[in-house]
Structure 1
């Protein structure tokens, strides 16, 4: 059986499973809370694995691996940043976010942000936050479409436009079938698939490269000094800036609606702690495997340009049947990540903007229309504004993190801040990240990742109410 036939059959089987999950989940959706937050009913495994999968899809399997493959040890600074984000979201933000969601009936992270804000500011903050989510998620979703399109192009030899349209169509159809329940369960399934793939492919590639010892010998004796430098060869403050810029990426997790929604939806405090352990354990397996794959790929001189390394290694070093299954499963996982993004964007329009707040039926309809509209915009951007996967995801990730992260964190630390300062901190943090994301250089990267947060925290500190009132 041809490799492409195996991939195609596996893709079809995987999609049938996802559709089955969507159909099952649809029977549990009875109102807006069910659709957007699963009625706060997630268990530890579903919450932990779906959170993990939502943090790491195309940009990890393809973008992170490509970064380490092409630039070397400097890319490893992302790892402590990502794990720092895990710890802050689950253990610092998590307790209050989860408990207050249960006691006040929140459905989105914007509800949490505006929970103690007076009515005169609540609507304005909700609209601004919703527009930011829409703006960023168009970029984020576009990166997923591009990743799926790249893989389909490589495997089936179809042109990029056809590949992206096919991938987008599959995603949108699936998303319209189910809400938060379906997204969480399928993302948990995706996390398991990714973990298995990140064990099998690196092990096979390391074996082909002669083992970990041979790979490390090659890295230290053949590669340039800049490749094994944790500053990418930059010296002094420039080197520190490079490292800090990558490390600061982890802060973005504190402002991602699709991640924080998982913590909001966990059933209990004990299951939240279990979910955190599951996420961290999953991350250790994934990142270890991908770093080994990147370095082994350098020794084997796999010529892929970086971002196709995972698929190329699977094809070359796994048995044909297993390679086909792995490629198809990972491709499906990359595509299915978009469901959480579309769901968060839909809730931003139909709930956070308050357009149909008093009419649940119309709210769901508006949400579904938003899903389709956002998907169309993302496809158009993918086709006409090509850019590498890694930078596009990091831009949207950092911008949302700078917008919402400081407010979410300080509220969980017990700060009560006036509504005007909350809105200003969100706008300044977001604007700073967006502006400096489009400027090259280490200094601009530092401002984008760290100064955007510092400005937001400074504004919130000024607006902090010392008498226990928010306005």
Structure 2
């Protein structure tokens, strides 16, 4: 068989498994709570790996390796930013959040943030829903676009056909099983991503001759600027650049599709076990992709698009069957984020702002919302394409600044006054969007740090 046929067969088998999981999970979904939070029965492995996979998305594999390829040595700061964010989420936030969500019987992050706000409860739920749907529409579109890029570059399909194909697969198993389907498939996909994070950098280093040879070759293929720890910046601007990249980690506590796995954990013991799994996973994958990006610069220079460096290295180093598995892992990163975000968007519209959450039609409305969000995001991917890395980080920063500060304050306080809670969410989100419209500062430190800091101050002043 030729390369294309082998890769295609591998992917078809993998997708059949995913759809099968969707049918299995459908048997465990009988209520809205099951559909959105799995009946609060997640174990440590499923919670940790599915949370990590849904947080990572296409930018971890394609984007991180592409950033290392383009930026050079200064991309190293993204590693402590991401791993540090995971450590904060799982070591400090998760134990408190699991207890609080169980005590208050909160099904969604929006519901937890709005609890105790009196007359402002519904306005806060509406505000959260607007933030989630706005950000996730573009976030999901970036995943569909990445799926299209991967299919198109591998099989020589048209971009439009590739995007429609990926969208359809994600839609099927998200509709079938909801939270259970998403969590179980994300676990499988997360394990594949970890495998890629281990196998690819090891194979690339062996091809080059080891870490020492890689370091020497990097000086030959990267410019002097790219071999600087602060890139093209120096002095105070260089320090601001570093803080800007480290600020990526601030977005972790505010991601609804990530923290809802913590809310769904079944008990405190599961939380303690999950934290080691999640942090270890992030360290393996993000470090592996950094090394792959550097190795790609040595092995293949130039490439048509830095975000395709990973695909080119895979095709160079592995036979078709192995390449098919790794490309499946790349698509896993895309799908594991898109399905989780579709589910959170559905919950924001059909559950959070519904006056009667026990309505027998609630589950139907939820599934209709998933279809609508899927179609809108697919159309954006088709007709308004943009850089995957930038679009994902914009949505990540905006949601992180909107929800993260308030969530942190709420888990260490009894509650936050409704006026301050509303103001914190609005300030964090609106300021992130406004600052993103201006030319980027070094490391995007303005839009990553300032909105988060101001929202945190507002929430802190309103604590009880």
TM-score by length of 2: 0.96
Superposed, 1:263-282 pairs within 5 Å as: 263-282=262-281
Q: 2:348 is matched with which residue? A: 348
Q: 2:449 is matched with which residue? A: 450
Q: What is the CA–CA distance in structure 2 between the aligned matches of 1:311 and 1:106, rounded to whole Å?
A: 41
8 Å CA contact retained: 1:11, 1:332: no
Q: 2:40 is matched with which residue? A: 40
Q: What is the CA–CA distance in structure 1 between the aligned matches of 2:326 and 2:407, rounded to whole Å?
A: 38
**Partner-residue secondary structure (3-state), 1:56:** helix
Q: Give how far 1:112 is off.
A: 1.2
Q: What is the CA–CA distance in structure 2 between the aligned matches of 1:320 and 1:134, rounded to whole Å?
A: 39
8 Å CA contact retained: 1:404, 1:426: yes
TM-score by length of 1: 0.95
Q: 1:128 is matched with which residue? A: 127
Q: Give how far 1:91 is off.
A: 2.4
Q: Give how far 1:151 is off.
A: 0.7
Q: Give how far 1:85 is off.
A: 1.3
8 Å CA contact retained: 1:39, 1:265: yes
Per-residue deviation, residues 270-321 of structure 1 (Å, max 9, x unmatched): 2112111001111121122212111111111342421011111111111222
**Partner-residue secondary structure (3-state), 2:420:** helix
Superposed, 1:408-427 pairs within 5 Å as: 408-414=407-413, 416-427=415-426
Q: Give how far 1:247 is off.
A: 0.8
**Partner-residue secondary structure (3-state), 2:361:** helix
Where does the alignment leave 5 or more consecutive residues of structure 2 unmatched?
Answer: none
Q: 1:260 is matched with which residue? A: 259
Q: Which runs of 4+ in 1 moved over 3 A?
A: none
8 Å CA contact retained: 1:8, 1:328: no
Q: What is the CA–CA distance in structure 2 between the aligned matches of 1:110 and 1:164, rounded to whole Å?
A: 30
Q: What is the CA–CA distance in structure 1 between the aligned matches of 2:169 and 2:284, rounded to whole Å?
A: 29
Q: 1:15 is matched with which residue? A: 15
Q: What is the CA–CA distance in structure 1 between the aligned matches of 2:74 and 2:214, rounded to whole Å?
A: 17
Q: Give how far 1:444 is off.
A: 9.1
- Report whether the alignment pairs 1:231 with 2:243: no
**Partner-residue secondary structure (3-state), 1:179:** helix
8 Å CA contact retained: 2:54, 2:333: no
8 Å CA contact retained: 1:11, 1:329: no
Q: What is the CA–CA distance in structure 1 between the aligned matches of 2:141 and 2:333, rounded to whole Å?
A: 15
Superposed, 1:354-433 pairs within 5 Å as: 354-359=354-359, 361-414=360-413, 416-433=415-432
Q: 2:438 is matched with which residue? A: 439
Q: What is the CA–CA distance in structure 2 between the aligned matches of 1:202 and 1:84, rounded to whole Å?
A: 21
Superposed, 1:188-199 pairs within 5 Å as: 188-199=187-198
Q: 1:148 is matched with which residue? A: 147
Q: What is the CA–CA distance in structure 1 between the aligned matches of 2:440 and 2:330, rounded to whole Å?
A: 34
Q: 1:98 is matched with which residue? A: 98
**Partner-residue secondary structure (3-state), 1:186:** helix
**Partner-residue secondary structure (3-state), 1:57:** helix
Q: Give how far 1:117 is off.
A: 1.7
Q: What is the CA–CA distance in structure 1 between the aligned matches of 2:305 and 2:82, rounded to whole Å?
A: 24
Q: Give how far 1:355 is off.
A: 5.0
Q: What is the CA–CA distance in structure 2 between the aligned matches of 1:96 and 1:289, rounded to whole Å?
A: 31
Q: What is the CA–CA distance in structure 2 between the aligned matches of 1:330 and 1:463, rounded to whole Å?
A: 43
Q: What is the CA–CA distance in structure 2 between the aligned matches of 1:231 and 1:355, rounded to whole Å?
A: 51
Mean alpha-carbon deviation: is it higher for 255-264 or for 200-209?
A: 200-209
**Partner-residue secondary structure (3-state), 1:397:** helix
Q: What is the CA–CA distance in structure 2 between the aligned matches of 1:433 and 1:319, rounded to whole Å?
A: 44
**Partner-residue secondary structure (3-state), 2:106:** coil
**Partner-residue secondary structure (3-state), 1:440:** coil
8 Å CA contact retained: 1:73, 1:227: yes
Q: 1:469 is matched with which residue? A: none
8 Å CA contact retained: 2:256, 2:344: yes
